[in-house]
């Protein structure tokens, strides 16, 4: 298919979706949450119809509550990225081209049938033919099972062609005054860069090794180790780890897995990433996490990662403390340090609304409902036309995702209750930190003298 015909095909599909949305929303007469929810659903279906580039763009959009309506963000996280596998001969040819030898020469027991197939890559199972010393942990012996992730043949060219069309659309949208404030062209460039990095599987391998190293002392966490000897831009080989998907957690419990402990620990792992390590898995969904027979959480697919600075980590901890203890004023005050700008005329409304959301969704129910709180909070900011900072929106979205994953493991887990001890310990450590004491002691000394001399 030529670029021109593909462009016309995409434009026709987009126009059909626009007409369908117009009809469903009564040509703009429908307003509020219901209208946004209908638009979000059609956006998801359109991404799935348009193919791999748009599925990936939708997945990237799902971690940007600072740009897209909360209904759209939460709907796009349901994007289905499962397609028919390409032939084993094509995958073998890709491996030969990348690694310089046939899979049967490099691996033992290479399986032609894919164990997972997405729009961008598919995964095959094999065994190491020779022992390998990974970056962390003990040697992987010959015969160790491995997962071989291979980009689909021609996927880069297909995505580049679709991105070129999407970029032209974005540049045209830039000319519309009502849409220009979202900077569609700049956002498209940002997404293109992120997608380009995701198409280089070495980036995923580096993050996986870092994550594995940072949690090497955690007996409840495992990350498949990368076999760099057989890894290139288009092929990623890593240790194969057996386990149950979160949809099979009942089977894991029957085998003796303590689901409640594992769910609570998973929440703490996330908080450690955000508040201590300064980076976090930003695409954590049930397909990227499973439970091993040893009672560990196995993390996969580090294509999208969020990052937090030292100053952000201190402010995030204070926001979290405000939420877990029901102190909406504290949460809002430290949200400003994360870039949330609330004008004076809207401050009372936002404070009142936030306090109501905290009480309604985090304090009053028998179990905190972080998702409903986040959806209500982000919707309220959108209604008040308050810009949501990029990092702040990503963090709120990630917290909701962690709650969803935790509930998939143990449905009765209260995320706020689980977060309270960790957040309290962290705040105590921050208060006694050397840099904080150095900044605060002079002012504290002056106040003490004022009291003594009064």
Would you say residue 7 has pLDDT above 70? no
Range from 2-16, 44-58, 166-180 that averages highest in pLDDT: 44-58
Mean pLDDT over 90-111 rounds to 96
- Which of the four pLDDT bands, split at 50, 70 and 90, describes residue 99? very high
Closest CA to 101 of 218, 282, 199, 232: 232
Residues of the chain with CATH 3.30.200.20: 82-163+179-241
Instruction: For residues 125 and 118, give the distance between their C-alpha atoms in angstroms, rounded to a whole number.
Output: 15
Would you say residue 200 has pLDDT above 90? yes
Instruction: For residues 286 and 271, give the distance between their C-alpha atoms in angstroms, rounded to a whole number.
Output: 18
Bigger pLDDT: 185 or 133? Answer: 133
Instruction: For residues 358 and 21, give the distance between their C-alpha atoms in angstroms, rounded to a whole number.
Output: 33
Mean pLDDT over 163-190 rounds to 78
Q: Is 202 helix (H, G, I), strand (E, B) or coil?
A: helix
Closest CA to 107 of 137, 147, 139, 134: 147
Instruction: Provide the pLDDT for residue 223.
Output: 95
Q: Is 385 helix (H, G, I), strand (E, B) or coil?
A: coil
pLDDT tens figures, 232-270? 999 999 999 999 988 788 999 999 999 999 999 998 998
Instruction: For residues 106 and 126, give the distance between their C-alpha atoms in angstroms, rounded to a whole number.
Output: 10
Would you say residue 444 has pLDDT above 60? no
Instruction: Provide the pLDDT for residue 375.
Output: 84
Bigger pLDDT: 137 or 169? Answer: 137
The strand ranges marked E within 230-359 are 235-239, 244-245, 279-281, 289-291, 297-299, 305-307
The per-residue DSSP string of 12-74 comes to HHHHHHHHHHHHHTTTTT--HHHHHHHHHHHHHHHHHHH-HHHHHHHHHHTT-TTTS-HHHHH
Catalytic residues: 283
Closest CA to 189 of 172, 164, 215, 212: 164
pLDDT tens figures, 386-399? 888 876 776 777 78
pLDDT tens figures, 218-233? 999 999 999 999 999 9
Instruction: For residues 387 and 398, give the distance between their C-alpha atoms in angstroms, rounded to a whole number.
Output: 18
- Which of the four pLDDT bands, split at 50, 70 and 90, describes residue 173? confident
β-bridge pairing 289-291 and 244-245: antiparallel
What Rg value do the Cα atoms of the chain yield, rounded?
Answer: 24
Cβ–Cβ < 8 Å for 397, 63: yes
Cβ–Cβ < 8 Å for 418, 267: yes
Cβ–Cβ < 8 Å for 240, 226: no
Q: Can you name the CATH fold of 82-163+179-241?
A: Phosphorylase Kinase; domain 1 (3.30.200)
Instruction: Provide the pLDDT for residue 420.
Output: 84
b/e map of 214-249 (b: 16 or more CB within 10 Å)?
A: bbeeeebbbbbbbbbebbbebbbbbbbbebbebeeb
Closest CA to 64 of 388, 350, 337, 354: 388
- Whole-prediction pTM value? 0.82
Instruction: Provide the pLDDT for residue 49.
Output: 82
In the DSSP assignment, the letter for residue 228 is: G
Would you say residue 42 has pLDDT above 90? no
Tokens 């982000």 sit on residue: 378
Dihedrals phi, psi of 191, to nearest 5 degrees = -65, -40
| Lowest mean pLDDT segment, chosen from 113-117, 172-176, 210-214, 221-225 | 172-176
- Which of the four pLDDT bands, split at 50, 70 and 90, describes residue 97? very high
CA dihedral 83, 86, 87, 91 (to 10 degrees): -130
Instruction: Provide the pLDDT for residue 152.
Output: 94
């Amino acid at each position: 298919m030529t670029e021109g015909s593909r462009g016309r095909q995409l434009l026709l599909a987009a126009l059909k979706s626009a007409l369908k949305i117009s009809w469903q929303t009564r040509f703009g007469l429908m307003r509020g949450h219901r209208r946004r929810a209908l638009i979000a659903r059609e956006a998801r279906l359109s991404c799935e119809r348009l193919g791999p580039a748009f599925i990936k763009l939708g997945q990237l959009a799902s971690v940007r509550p600072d740009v897209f309506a909360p209904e759209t963000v939460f709907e796009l996280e349901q994007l289905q990225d499962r397609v028919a596998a390409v032939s084993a001969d094509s995958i073998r040819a890709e491996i030969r081209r990348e690694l310089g030898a046939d899979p049967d020469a490099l691996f033992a027991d290479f399986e032609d049938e894919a164990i997972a197939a997405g729009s961008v890559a598919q995964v095959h199972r094999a065994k190491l033919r020779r022992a390998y010393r990974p970056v962390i942990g003990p040697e992987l012996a010959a015969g160790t099972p491995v997962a071989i992730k291979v980009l689909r043949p021609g996927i880069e060219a297909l995505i580049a062609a679709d991105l070129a069309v999407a970029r032209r659309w974005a540049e045209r949208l830039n000319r519309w005054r009502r849409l220009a404030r979202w900077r569609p062209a700049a956002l498209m460039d940002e997404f293109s860069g992120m997608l380009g990095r995701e198409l280089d599987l070495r980036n995923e391998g580096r993050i996986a090794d870092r994550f594995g190293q940072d949690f090497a002392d955690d007996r409840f966490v495992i990350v498949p180790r990368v076999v760099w000897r057989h890894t290139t831009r288009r092929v990623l080989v890593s240790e194969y780890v057996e386990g149950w998907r979160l949809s099979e957690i009942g089977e894991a419990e029957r085998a003796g897995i303590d689901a409640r402990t594992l769910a609570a620990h998973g929440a703490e792992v996330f908080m450690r990433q955000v508040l201590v390590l300064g980076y976090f898995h930003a695409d954590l969904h049930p397909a990227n996490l499973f439970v091993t027979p040893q009672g560990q959480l196995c993390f996969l697919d580090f294509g999208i990662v969020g990052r937090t600075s030292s100053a952000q980590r201190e402010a995030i901890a204070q926001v979290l403390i405000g939420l877990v203890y029901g102190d909406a004023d504290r949460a809002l005050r430290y949200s400003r340090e994360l870039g949330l700008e609330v004008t004076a005329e809207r401050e009372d409304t936002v404070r009142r609304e936030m306090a109501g959301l905290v009480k309604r969704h985090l304090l009053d129910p028998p179990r905190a409902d972080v998702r409903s709180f986040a959806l209500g909070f982000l919707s309220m900011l959108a209604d008040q036309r308050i810009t949501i900072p990029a990092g702040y929106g990503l963090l709120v979205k990630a917290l909701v995702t962690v709650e969803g994953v935790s509930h998939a493991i143990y449905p009765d887990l209260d995320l706020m209750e689980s977060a309270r001890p960790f957040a309290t310990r962290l705040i105590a450590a921050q208060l006694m930190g050397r840099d904080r004491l150095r900044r605060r002691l002079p002012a504290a000394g002056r106040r003490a003298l004022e009291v003594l001399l009064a």
